[in-house]
Amino acid sequence: MSAPHPPKVAGIDPPVPTAAHTVAPASPVPEATAGTLADTVPAVPAPHPPVAAPGTLLQDRLAGWVSDLTTLHELTERLVRTSALEPALDELLGATAALVGARRGLVVLDPGDGGPRTTRGLGLGRADLGHLETVPRGALPYDTAGTAEVVHADLFAEDDLDPRHREVAARLGYAASYALPLATDNAGRLGAAVWLYDEPAEPRERQRHLAGLYIRHATEHLARLREVERTRACVATITGELLPSRLPRVPGVQLAARHRTGPRGGGDWYDALPLPDAALGLSVGSVSGSGPSAVAAMGRLRASLRAYAVMEGEDPVAVLSDLELLLRLTEPARSATALFAYCEPALRRITLAGAGHSPPLLIGERRTEFAETSVSAPLNMLSCWEAPSTEIEAEAGETVLLYTDGLLHRSGDRMDRAFARLHSAAASVPRALRQDPGAIADHVLRMVLPDGPEAADSREDVVLLAARFD
């Protein structure tokens, strides 16, 4: 009769214990001489197995604790370096799968505050996650509303297993699962994490303890990231509402704009305003600072500039002078850069003035060059802002590109190299795209920021406003 095999734990066969000592087997003694030998050879007591000293056991236990704490510290350090929700979920799944000895798993965010439900898988495709979604909520291998672990050491040995769950488990090829809730007193209830085993198994007590400690820390981190993303989305929504929802249609010119909000929400703006006598006012600018206060200041400044443009738009210097006076009186601690252009589409003539802003870029078939503008200080930086206006004439089919400094800063280059990269990007616009100002703006974005404006590590917004003259 064979000895029973010990159950598997976390999908790993337990090590076979080895004997402390190996004693040479005694040679068999013939029955005829057994009595004689017993009479002549004194009996030798059997050796006792050595007993480990208490100090050795304590050292081994301390070494195990130190190893566990070191592992936990390394994993949590990697987690806190994530600054977005999806990378944090991926890091959580990889770390906890190693802790509990699983190969696959998923995390389900189902916040108690009514936030959006999010599912992220490890070793599971979208189709696999979709199959799991078909299991009734009460029969799932996890409980997003609970606060205790959920253990299924052998799913197919459970008589009361839901038939749909049994079918999905057979399809996906897992026979056991272990789940922990994502819930703490401070963060509230966020969801659950579950790990799937290919055969009957469950984690050891030590693995459960480490995974529990890690999950509690991860839950707090996920709650902070959710709050950050919620704030960013709110700031982006407010910024979008403060900027034009659509650009005006003016005969003789086509308009396109691109705007990307920075991670903290910046104060960059753009505007296009129809003016009397079939004229058009274009403006871009940036308010110092970031966050909600900068967004609010941007909204106030842009609205004021629109009013000044309607009253005296044909004189861009007067428009910016009035804006500088308003900023000095209402927000003396804040500065801003701005560029205002008075366009006459019928004549393809542009009169502009800038306050510490980068020059526009002319893009055409025969030239790609920066417009010559006077050097000036940002608004509210000197005792009195003053700068002359300049006039440029665009040819038929040329595009005037206005932009904010965020485009240059996010490139990661020095300013001289950033300007050179912008000029090269504009010069390389394919001829087939030059008829569409939106395509020109997209091409410039791709060339100047190859990783995308969202991937660049910068607090600043990116604004492009393109005007193509017929």
Tens digits of residue pLDDT in 182-199:
998 888 889 999 999 999
126-140, 283-297, 428-442: segment of lowest average pLDDT: 283-297
User: Where in the chain is CATH 3.30.450.40?
Assistant: 83-234
Helices (H) and strands (E) in the chain, counts: 11, 15
Q: Which long-range contacts (CB under 8 A, 24 or more apart) does 163-168 make?
A: 164/134, 164/135, 164/136, 164/139, 165/135, 165/136, 165/139, 165/140, 165/141, 168/131, 168/132, 168/134, 168/135
Our CA angle for 84, 87, 90, nearest 5°, is 145
Q: Please give the CATH topology (third level) of the domain spanning 245-469.
A: Phosphatase 2c; domain 1 (3.60.40)
Per-residue pLDDT at 452: 61
Give Cα separations from 336 to 14, 116, 351, 414 (angstroms).
Answer: 68, 37, 21, 21
Q: How far apart are CA 406 and CA 287, in angstroms?
A: 11
Residue type, 449: L
Residue 70's SS3 state is: helix
The torsion angles phi and psi of 131, rounded to 5 degrees, stand at -60, -40
Give Cα separations from 42 to 29, 46, 274 (angstroms).
Answer: 15, 13, 119
Per-residue pLDDT at 161 exceeds 70: yes
User: Where in the chain is CATH 3.60.40.10?
Assistant: 245-469
Q: How far apart are CA 346 and CA 348, in angstroms?
A: 6
Q: Is the pTM higher than 0.85?
A: no
Cα–chain-centroid distance for residue 455?
9
User: Tens digit of pLDDT for each residue in 291-329?
Assistant: 788 888 899 999 999 999 999 989 999 999 999 999 999
Report residue 46's pLDDT band, with 50, 70 and 90 as the boundaries.
low
Report residue 427's pLDDT band, with 50, 70 and 90 as the boundaries.
very high
Farthest CA pair distance, the chain: 134
Q: State the burial class of residue 8 (Cβ atoms within 10 Å of its Cβ: 0-12, 13-18, 19+).
A: middle
- 83-234 carries CATH number 3.30.450.40: yes
